Structure 1
């Protein structure tokens, strides 16, 4: 998933449970584009991009705190389509959600996958893979077997991962950057923009199924998980790495299924809303490749975000710990009203999304109420739920074409 690109605690719980429990995924019968994606250790270019006739390059980006991230570059479209002067091509960074990686953007046919669509439309595409995922499990001095390797939350994705990828892409292209995020990929972007990070290198941003406020998240499993997660994980797990395939996490997730009203056999609908447009073959590929590990601290931070309904840095709970890290008793707030009013933003959200609930997106839009009218484009798709934005068979027609048009408009204005 780029579980995702992308997601909140409820989202990652859903994807984890899908891998450990019997399930009957909701799926459309339209089309079948199944292929065995089993990316080698070297990266996903050879298995998911080059095989379809696209040039693809594997890059490494080192963050200021020492993590070595894998990034894939698709510099032009299939067979040179969308080519031209590479120095003038607009770069696009695509960011997945939690407990997934960049593979989730490449599970449909080439004509339906966002990175390849962007490449065919003349963009220089860069697919990010966050720390802890299969291609980004390296550090200049720490080993993944060490608890110190996993001592981070999404704060560090804001402070280190995104800036490192942006700086690297900017140095390689010398062009301002367009950004696409899904779910958690939108959360870390909004937090970054609110602090003035990245905006000088940013041309525009497309936020799909955005996550910022979660007061109306309406999934029973997600709410129960968010309420129980912090105490359970700290007292029972004692784990630094949150590995969805490990036995302690498996046991914790299965324990949630005993709660009344929790249907662990219909998790796609129960946690993301009723996705309208997923092929069964795509869901199968998803389950073959995801979920990915993240840090337990990251899961705790996401649970805090769900429970408190406000966007803050990680809360160490103990006042002395917060003072040590922040110089104050409570963790600082990410004030989304500080996002520059002239930053071009495209926001798309769905009417059936149980994670990025429409009412919570409206709260986000309220924070952007002073945004320049000609710099904010908002799309609402009544039938869409959370996973449709990454894996929907009709996302090209409903969402991705609009993203391409939005990016092109920013270039021409």
Structure 2
């Protein structure tokens, strides 16, 4: 009797295993932007994009992206002089925060379409930064605090943007750590 109970339980279990093993694996949809960098995301949405590297006085190289205009034909022609806007991300983030949603939901695209010259900043702790002498595996690379981001990263990027645009001022938008 014990053997027949065992067989009664084993048979359904084997059937379940066999049936599920025969089903083709279902692939989950993958966001096409998941493995793209910021410039690739921007370009894929149909916007012009430029990449720059800004070197801080303490040797960090910070990636900065620029959206100089909206999609072709979407910039507002009535704006005589383009105003420059610098967007700075928050804590433990990157410039991607400003462009990962749809263009109708992302501040960077909305500003570019409204005729602004949009610049996206980063800081030393994210994927868009490196150091001239230290690698990410070295302790010296990570020996910094928020103070260095404020003292070195932001001034270097803002001075760079002002020099590139030949402007004396710009609009600054930041959130979290970026503000």
TM-score by length of 1: 0.34
Q: Which residue of 2 aligns with 1:154?
A: 146
Q: CA deviation at 1:180?
A: 0.5
Q: Which residue of 1 aligns with 2:13?
A: none
Distance in 2 of aligned mates of 1:39 and 1:63: 28
Question: 1:125-274, aligned counterparts within 5 Å?
Answer: 125-136=118-129, 138-175=130-167, 176-186=169-179
Is 1:91 matched with 2:91?
A: no
* Aligned-residue CA RMSD (Å): 2.1
Does the Cα contact within 8 Å between 1:87 and 1:174 map onto a contact in 2?
no
Q: CA deviation at 1:105?
A: 1.7
Q: Which residue of 2 aligns with 1:49?
A: 42
Distance in 2 of aligned mates of 1:184 and 1:149: 20
Deviation per CA, 1:336-388: give whole Å up to 9, x if none: xxxxxxxxxxxxxxxxxxxxxxxxxxxxxxxxxxxxxxxxxxxxxxxxxxxxx
SS in 1 for 2:87: strand
Q: CA deviation at 1:185?
A: 0.7
In structure 2, relative to structure 1, the CA distance for the partners of 1:88 and 1:51 (3 Å cut) is: same
Does the Cα contact within 8 Å between 2:38 and 2:99 map onto a contact in 1?
no
Deviation per CA, 1:244-286: give whole Å up to 9, x if none: xxxxxxxxxxxxxxxxxxxxxxxxxxxxxxxxxxxxxxxxxxx
Deviation per CA, 1:172-230: give whole Å up to 9, x if none: 001211100011111xxxxxxxxxxxxxxxxxxxxxxxxxxxxxxxxxxxxxxxxxxxx
Larger radius of gyration: 2
TM-score by length of 2: 0.77
What stretches of structure 2 of length at least 5 have no aligned partner?
Answer: 1-29
Distance in 2 of aligned mates of 1:83 and 1:133: 33
Does the Cα contact within 8 Å between 1:97 and 1:183 map onto a contact in 2?
yes
Distance in 2 of aligned mates of 1:61 and 1:52: 25
Distance in 2 of aligned mates of 1:178 and 1:124: 10
Aligned residue pair count: 149
Q: CA deviation at 1:81?
A: 2.2
Deviation per CA, 1:60-115: give whole Å up to 9, x if none: 1111111000111000001142266x993111110111111111222321111000
Distance in 2 of aligned mates of 1:69 and 1:102: 11
Does the Cα contact within 8 Å between 1:76 and 1:83 map onto a contact in 2?
no
What stretches of structure 1 of length at least 5 have no aligned partner?
Answer: 1-33, 187-413
In structure 2, relative to structure 1, the CA distance for the partners of 1:63 and 1:83 (3 Å cut) is: farther
Off by >4 Å, runs of 4+ in structure 1: none
